[in-house]
């Protein structure tokens, strides 16, 4: 979903040999599976990792970052993103967003049910109201 928003597309070794080789060498040296590599045609100096499990992990690099950095700097950026995947930071962030969304949804629901109903005429009326039906009395001036 994040990649769809950024417009990133998956790349292969033939499309981006420099970037793909850097990532693959890092993964081999760390003994981890190579995540999917994506490139966004944005000029921003940014990269990020996404995914919830081994099959979904991907690293997205912006074109601006690729153009601005040399191989050693790009390797550092890719290593940083691999660390997020290896430490489970990406998974934890998704879980935190889901829990936060659930808490705020139920908090809003409780607020609307209990507080707004009583302020805006949703409360019960006593049987002694008669014909007034909630109208305020008007005093002559």
The neighbouring-strand residues paired with 58 are 36, 50
- Residue 78, Cβ density class (10 Å: 0-12 exposed, 13-18 middle, ≥19 buried): buried
* DSSP-based three-state secondary structure for 48: strand
- Token digits of residue 60: 């997205």
CA nearest to 125, candidates 137, 117, 133: 133
Torsion of CA 21, 24, 29, 34, to 10 degrees: 170
Question: Is residue 81 among the annotated active site residues?
Answer: yes
CA nearest to 81, candidates 9, 11, 19: 19
Catalytic residue among 73, 75, 81, 108, which? 81
Catalytic residues: 81
């Amino acid at each position: 979903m994040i990649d769809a928003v950024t417009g990133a597309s998956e790349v292969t070794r033939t499309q981006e040999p420099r970037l793909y080789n850097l990532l693959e060498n890092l993964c081999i040296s760390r003994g981890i599976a190579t995540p999917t590599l994506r490139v966004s045609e944005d000029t921003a100096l940014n990269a990020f990792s996404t995914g919830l499990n081994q099959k979904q992990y991907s690293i997205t690099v912006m074109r601006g970052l690729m153009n601005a950095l040399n191989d050693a700097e790009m390797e550092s950026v890719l290593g940083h993103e691999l660390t997020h995947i290896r430490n489970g930071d990406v998974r934890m962030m998704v879980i935190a967003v889901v829990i936060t969304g659930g808490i705020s949804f139920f908090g809003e629901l409780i607020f609307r049910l209990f507080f707004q109903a009583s302020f805006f005429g949703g409360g019960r009326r006593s049987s002694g109201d008669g014909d007034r039906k909630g109208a305020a009395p008007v005093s002559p001036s």
